[in-house]
Structure 1
């Protein structure tokens, strides 16, 4: 390489290498400055000169404050930085190990210069930032920034509004856009301080800078650690300041260049803070929310209608941002969020969303024909986003464009199933530290489990005859069994096994699952509930398939084993109810395969009895043996009764029907004390305090018990059931016990 260097460069390198003192080497630097800035100085020339000087010498100049008499105090720093800023424009120099290892030196130079009142130091600060900017442009440089731990100092410069602090912010924006949340470190105070400062400028600035700040805020928030956003965030000023800034933009006459960054920013904030953030205007809380949904719906139609996958992929980031807003808005309204929409407002919102989802369905139909595998790379990720947002819509609205959706269902299932399996593999690899995780980008569908999001929609689709046939044709029940089994492995948390070598050591007490694991358990609990709902619909509507399918045999075994293992905690109660009722439906359908001496079935039936028994209690005014109380839902159940009510009535109905097929189940009702407990409870209920539907459920249950087991009559009579029948007009039960 040395032979190819220009003669002036060779001469300069030779002088620097033979320099026997710092003074002579320093003299050679003046020749370097002229050469480096010349047009004929190639990358190879710069590298040769840089190595001839040696970074240690330049570092010495940067840090030295001992200068010769009559020399400016900054002469050493100025010369060194002048050379380095020129060197850093070359990728090979900017990523040189010596340069990367000394990132803290540049930051220290800025920090010390800021502490001085000497205005001559401003040039030193500018050139230091110039070096850092060049280094931050490259992957090696970004990693070196992170390793050196100086990002918090860069943010500090901006918070303190130091000279050229915008440069510090711009460098950090580059770093966080490439490194993601890890660039923020572990201090949420710095995060909030930065956001507060930028958002105030964003709120008040009415120049073109407002749109630059919008893009910066989007990058910072999109890449922020999610655990930085908590209840204390409401006490910060940045949520309200960004709200004001964004509403200023989106309610003004603007073009695409200004609107797109604002939609991306608002999407990120809504995802972080929830839809409630949109309702910040106390006087007109609905206005911005409705405007935002309308803007996103229109944008989606404009981007997707009459276009192919390749045509829309260029704006994927904007489109998926709109999808996020739409998805969260649908869930918010459906869950009865804090917004009171008038009928006209609901219709306007529905019409806008319907148009957007028609466009989504049409594009997905094209993709299913032109790219049956979902495309490759970014195309697969975008296809996944299309299916995800459509799943959110179908969870609430299954009548609109139904034929097109049903025709598209095989493709939707294919995408959802592949993302589920890829996501499962990715999670398991991350838990075990497997090398498979290194190749995660080979399957971009592994980043989100679309099947998990599609489950609520499948609950509705399973009721439709055509859609249900497609589910069986695609053997979706097999995948759903994999799905419920996988989520059960998360819900049924077990402490990690301690290696033998560690068992004798003193260990800290087990604190149970961490916050991340608890969140995963909560999500998987909901997924299992949705899967149970789908299977219950299939079991009731396709009895012949259920009877002949080996899968449903395995499914019954799974439910029988799982229910007794569910921990009796309030958060598990709804899941217990679903497993209990689903198992009863399976037992009724597969009664010929249920065996009295099967231990798992015995444990399961006992768990079902516990669930049904604990739902109602007596609310007594005083301790008494006469009927003075009211029958009320127990406190444990009351908080979740909206979700549990139908389950309890269906469970009682199914249990009653099951007794005629499997009379031996009645033995458990007697042995556990449920029959006696029910008789005592009903006896204590005062006249008129037994709801009609509850009375019917208990009467039918007791009548079926009488038919299945002769011992039941004696138990009931010994608890004064005659008085109970007269009090609550249980006519049918009275006839069966005492005749006409």
Structure 2
């Protein structure tokens, strides 16, 4: 059998057809006759030798590429995956009972697997999947080294303390046909619905990476593309978390080849670089990765600065966006180059979006424009803060050394690009709401509006019906959303949800910061009210609270989106009192806050959200008449307790201090606390029954105990807010006024010099 050879021609590299072949049939009549005899022999084979003989004859006369699915199934039924798997295992163990050299067994086994893997039902067979580690071992080490390495391992197991010898010191070269068969099997597995996961769990990333690093046969031509596919699939994050060291070595090799290539070759290679970069944040502290990114920027700069065709500019901008995702502007280059990069991205956006209505944007251009959006977003922080005092420790997202003039230039080109986005969004029909590129454009504009709402104000106001309608459509579950779900799962930016996957509230979450700004301005707020935006925010807040309510202990995580929604609703509560009194959504909001605040008192990780809920509820409460509802009693009792928790007594005659619980979040929650006290004062004025609750809870006694002999809080604004509450209580309730007089005397506050208005009321 050994003399006959043992290579089954690979499906992707079939030999020429027989001149007698019948057109369209794949096999000639003579081949079909021989095939039938071989299939009969396979079916009635009494041992492996008979099976191998029949298979070898099939490979001679009927190349795998000419076998149809039905014939492959017949071979599979006769042989099964068990035989090729056994051939590989036999070769690896060095068992010569078959009469064939190990190299021939490996070649025949791989060729059989390659032929069988051309059918998806066969490639998903568990026995075929079990051969993947063996296939990878062949690709990494070559057949000779693999077999010797296995023998040495077997010997080391039988001889205590022995070492594997030099047989495994260096890989052996692969036959190209064998390599072709091995990659056929792996590519077929990868094409399965869960193929990338199957390959990841079977060590494909390590095996393929080492094959590339060993420069094995076809590793660059076939191994790198397969690795690129794996690393851009759903297993990307897990792959980097498990194998970061090996993948960094692989990226180093890819980067080195890129940097050493000519400018023209680099243009061709640009589209491959993003596939091998880690997800943002995974290797953010790696000095190796920083060095690689710096080298890539050095090689990219001439391409960005040069004159290149549109088809090459796209991949250059995409890889630039990916590098910015990793380390911002830290190693991008001098300010002049950074400005040029932003300018090129903005020009590309204008050229791509400022087309007549109905113009279709190609998938390739959409991919480029999405990358341009990320470049623009990276530039926004610098541009939108131009003219502000310099930060001694600027974040990596800022362009270091940018002059005021350059910042204004960047802001100018950004305005033009975002104007183009607005123009594009105005043309959108509701039937296109599930388009991933539309979501990318929407998200980009929201990022701009989160930073800057004064520019293009009239255009933004005109676009508000679309922005609200788009966010509401997804949030309410209109349309299928599958296109967006698939796209979001592959996005490098995954802040739209906690686990990085698409959720229907993603669009609204991106819009929330802009709504917070716009609801504070008269013109945009009127439009938002006409679009029933408060009801949308209340619905979002209620659903978010339903998710948070079940969390406890270390599972509790902050949700900034809920806090931002509270801020936007707070703007409405402050500026639109009549709407708050009459809109049913605010009644629903009160009910939710009455349920949420008592629970939030026991979730210290959600203190900022609790501060938002407390203040929002009090701001609404000051607009309502007296209430006897149990829920309102529960809310105000919780609010009094929550506001009290922010303060702890100081030492001796020193001012009271911010409590340990609040201190970490005081920058965010302090203003809310002061606003909450002022709102509480307003509630006392319109709902006098609250003073009875204040007395029942002993709130006044606790406050004065915390103030101590100093009678003051650590900062003047907080002191004034507390004084406003005490004045309101003293005016509304004579009994409380008497209590305060007694408390002032017992706490040795003297004439309450820190609270002159309260002193005057007490003297009345």
Which band: TM-score by shorter chain?
0.7 to 0.9
For residues 305 and 250 of structure 1, do their structure 2 counterparts lie closer, same or farther at Cα, with a shift above 3 Å needed? Answer: farther
For residues 683 and 297 of structure 1, do their structure 2 counterparts lie closer, same or farther at Cα, with a shift above 3 Å needed? Answer: same
Match of 1:696 among 711, 715, 720: 720
Match of 1:405 among 437, 460, 465: 460
CA distance in 2, matches of 1:60, 1:734: 95
Offset of 1:28 from its aligned partner? 5.3
Offset of 1:106 from its aligned partner? 3.1
In terms of mean alpha carbon deviation, does 578-587 or 306-315 score higher?
A: 306-315
Task: Give 1:248's aligned residue.
Answer: 299
Indicate whether 1:478 and 2:547 are aligned: no
In terms of mean alpha carbon deviation, does 466-475 or 106-115 score higher?
A: 106-115
Contact 1:666 1:705 in 2 (8 A): yes
Offset of 1:575 from its aligned partner? 1.5
In terms of mean alpha carbon deviation, does 477-486 or 609-618 score higher?
A: 609-618
Contact 2:129 2:189 in 1 (8 A): no
Task: Give 1:601's aligned residue.
Answer: 632
Indicate whether 1:348 and 2:406 are aligned: no
Indicate whether 1:372 and 2:430 are aligned: yes
Task: Give 1:453's aligned residue.
Answer: 510
For residues 295 and 668 of structure 1, do their structure 2 counterparts lie closer, same or farther at Cα, with a shift above 3 Å needed? Answer: farther
CA distance in 2, matches of 1:447, 1:220: 30
Indicate whether 1:279 and 2:330 are aligned: yes
CA distance in 1, matches of 2:355, 2:254: 38
Q: After superposition, where does 1:321-720 map in structure 2 within 5 Å?
A: 321-327=371-377, 329-330=379-380, 338=395, 339=398, 342-367=403-428, 371-374=429-432, 380-422=435-477, 446=503, 449-494=506-551, 512-513=554-555, 518=556, 521-523=557-559, 526-592=560-626, 594-595=627-628, 598-620=629-651, 624=652, 628-682=653-707, 684-685=709-710, 691-720=715-744
For residues 477 and 566 of structure 1, do their structure 2 counterparts lie closer, same or farther at Cα, with a shift above 3 Å needed? Answer: same
For residues 668 and 130 of structure 1, do their structure 2 counterparts lie closer, same or farther at Cα, with a shift above 3 Å needed? Answer: closer
For residues 654 and 143 of structure 1, do their structure 2 counterparts lie closer, same or farther at Cα, with a shift above 3 Å needed? Answer: closer
CA distance in 2, matches of 1:576, 1:211: 53
With the length of structure 2 as denominator, give the TM-score of the two structures: 0.76
CA distance in 1, matches of 2:565, 2:422: 24
Contact 1:154 1:172 in 2 (8 A): no
Q: What SS class does the counterpart of residue 216 from structure 2 fall into?
A: coil
What do the CA deviations read for 1:58-113 (whole angstroms, capped 9, x no partner)? 5555544667999876445446656776x479667985857666444533444444
Contact 1:659 1:705 in 2 (8 A): yes
For residues 248 and 308 of structure 1, do their structure 2 counterparts lie closer, same or farther at Cα, with a shift above 3 Å needed? Answer: farther
CA distance in 2, matches of 1:289, 1:458: 31
For residues 462 and 9 of structure 1, do their structure 2 counterparts lie closer, same or farther at Cα, with a shift above 3 Å needed? Answer: same
For residues 331 and 125 of structure 1, do their structure 2 counterparts lie closer, same or farther at Cα, with a shift above 3 Å needed? Answer: farther
Q: What SS class does the counterpart of residue 430 from structure 2 fall into?
A: coil
Offset of 1:246 from its aligned partner? 3.1
- Alpha-carbon RMSD across the aligned residues, in angstroms, is 4.2
What do the CA deviations read for 1:167-201 (whole angstroms, capped 9, x no partner)? 33332323444554388396244564455534552
For residues 554 and 171 of structure 1, do their structure 2 counterparts lie closer, same or farther at Cα, with a shift above 3 Å needed? Answer: closer
Task: Give 1:439's aligned residue.
Answer: none
Contact 1:43 1:92 in 2 (8 A): no
CA distance in 2, matches of 1:553, 1:259: 54
Offset of 1:209 from its aligned partner? 5.8
Q: What SS class does the counterpart of residue 373 from structure 1 fall into?
A: helix
Q: Runs of 5+ in structure 2 lacking a partner? A: 1-21, 149-166, 386-390, 486-500
Task: Give 1:14's aligned residue.
Answer: 36
CA distance in 1, matches of 2:562, 2:64: 69
Q: After superposition, where does 1:133-172 map in structure 2 within 5 Å?
A: 135-136=188-189, 138-139=191-192, 142=195, 145-146=198-199, 149-158=202-211, 161=214, 163-164=216-217, 165-166=219-220, 167-172=222-227
CA distance in 1, matches of 2:687, 2:645: 23
CA distance in 2, matches of 1:308, 1:132: 47
CA distance in 1, matches of 2:111, 2:760: 104
Contact 1:47 1:92 in 2 (8 A): no
Match of 2:185 among 122, 127, 132: 132
CA distance in 2, matches of 1:296, 1:603: 54
Match of 1:107 among 127, 130, 136: 136
CA distance in 2, matches of 1:678, 1:114: 80
Task: Give 2:286's aligned residue.
Answer: 235
Offset of 1:466 from its aligned partner? 3.9
Q: Runs of 5+ in structure 1 lacking a partner? A: 431-443, 496-510
Q: Which has the larger helix fraction?
A: 1
CA distance in 1, matches of 2:369, 2:505: 17
Task: Give 1:441's aligned residue.
Answer: none
CA distance in 2, matches of 1:690, 1:142: 61
Match of 1:35 among 56, 61, 64: 61
Task: Give 1:437's aligned residue.
Answer: none
Q: What SS class does the counterpart of residue 312 from structure 1 fall into?
A: coil
Task: Give 2:360's aligned residue.
Answer: 311
Indicate whether 1:299 and 2:348 are aligned: yes
Offset of 1:359 from its aligned partner? 0.3
CA distance in 1, matches of 2:591, 2:636: 13
CA distance in 1, matches of 2:593, 2:753: 36
Task: Give 2:314's aligned residue.
Answer: 260
CA distance in 1, matches of 2:632, 2:683: 14
Task: Give 1:498's aligned residue.
Answer: none
What do the CA deviations read for 1:495-526 (whole angstroms, capped 9, x no partner)? 7xxxxxxxxxxxxxxx852xxxx5xx323xx2
Q: What SS class does the counterpart of residue 700 from structure 1 fall into?
A: helix
